Amino acid sequence: MKFSKEVAGLVDQIPSGMISTYGEIARALGDVIASRTIYATLSQGIDGNAPIHRVVTARGEAAYSKHLQVLKEEGVPIRDKRVRDVSEHLFKNFKSTRILEKMRKEQEKLAKKVSLEDGFTASRLIGGVDVAYDGDNAYAGCVILDAEEMKLVEERRLSGMVSFPYVSTYLSYRELPMIKRIYSKLKNKPDVLMVDGNGILHPRRIGIASHVGLELDTPTIGVAKRLLLGRLGKVPEKIGDFGSIIHKGKVIGMALKTSKSDNYVYVSPGHKVSMKSALELSKKLCYHRLPETIRRAHRMASELKRVRTK
């Protein structure tokens, strides 16, 4: 599914003399959270001749001044360098496949299958995977470490194209294909795989680590550098301390202090891993800010991107 084509198809429905907003197009796709992604998609340009000049902000501001001139020629009133009355000329009667709504419903079904019980007997081979980007070009890195001796067992690099952009809470639809590809090339499958992203620390309890775990049928842990949602209970003060991340009265992750700064690492179970094991394994592998598997995978992905984009 080419996201930009979906967006272009919606923009193409806006009649001359009317406008729509980034938010309305996001709603037509099924989730207003995609508004910023719509803006970025249209700013980068889309295939075809869709009238992107007819898409403005909720305040009537256009991406470029030349768009306002075209709108004026089409009969849309302009004042103070923006559309005068957005609501009067707003088009929202889109015909849409509502792809984000479909994805959200799929996430809700998948979340019910997530196991928060340890589904592994050994935890010696620990993997880490991360994906870096340059537009729609993706660069994946995966590393397998012997967690007892801290020796490198295997590492893989892979590049490719993605067709889905970054949309908050829908990250797995962007990264899962690349992660599946690089995982399939491993000669040594890990006992537990750490994923750069969230597990159940997600509004629908199905972040990328959980989605990956279900798709690959393997124990996974989510390790994120930023807090997606929830509030921090106890504030970690010393390196090695941790505090619960609470959302809607439930603990969905842990903020782990791994350095002197307050840039915590946010750990959550993905699939077939308990909260206790997710935290213990993350702490065990944190010689720097990030667990070593994630740190190395991130470095590998970034290096591959740098080499390929020279």
Sign of the alpha-carbon torsion through 199, 205, 207, 209: positive
The hierarchical CATH code for the domain 117-308 is 3.30.2170.10
Query: Which percentage of the chain shows pLDDT scores above 90?
Result: 88
pLDDT, tens digit, 9 for 90 and up, residues 206-248: 999 999 999 999 999 999 999 999 999 888 889 999 999 999 9
The hierarchical CATH code for the domain 3-97 is 1.10.10.10
The predicted structure's pLDDT at residue 261? 81
| Contact (Cβ atoms closer than 8 angstroms) between residue 222 and residue 208 | yes
In whole angstroms, give the CA distance from residue 25 to residue 51. 13
Identity of residue 43? S
Residue spans in the chain of domains classed CATH 1.10.10.10:
3-97
The predicted structure's pLDDT at residue 287? 87
Q: Is the pTM of this model over 0.85?
A: yes
The predicted structure's pLDDT at residue 244? 96
Pick the closest to residue 242 from 271, 218, 217, 266 (CA basis): 266
Q: Which residues, given as ranges, of the chain have pLDDT below 50? A: none
In whole angstroms, give the CA distance from residue 83 to residue 296. 49
The SS3 of residue 84 is coil
In whole angstroms, give the CA distance from residue 84 to residue 27. 23
The predicted structure's pLDDT at residue 98? 95
The predicted structure's pLDDT at residue 235? 87
The predicted structure's pLDDT at residue 1? 59
Residue spans in the chain of domains classed CATH 3.30.2170.10:
117-308
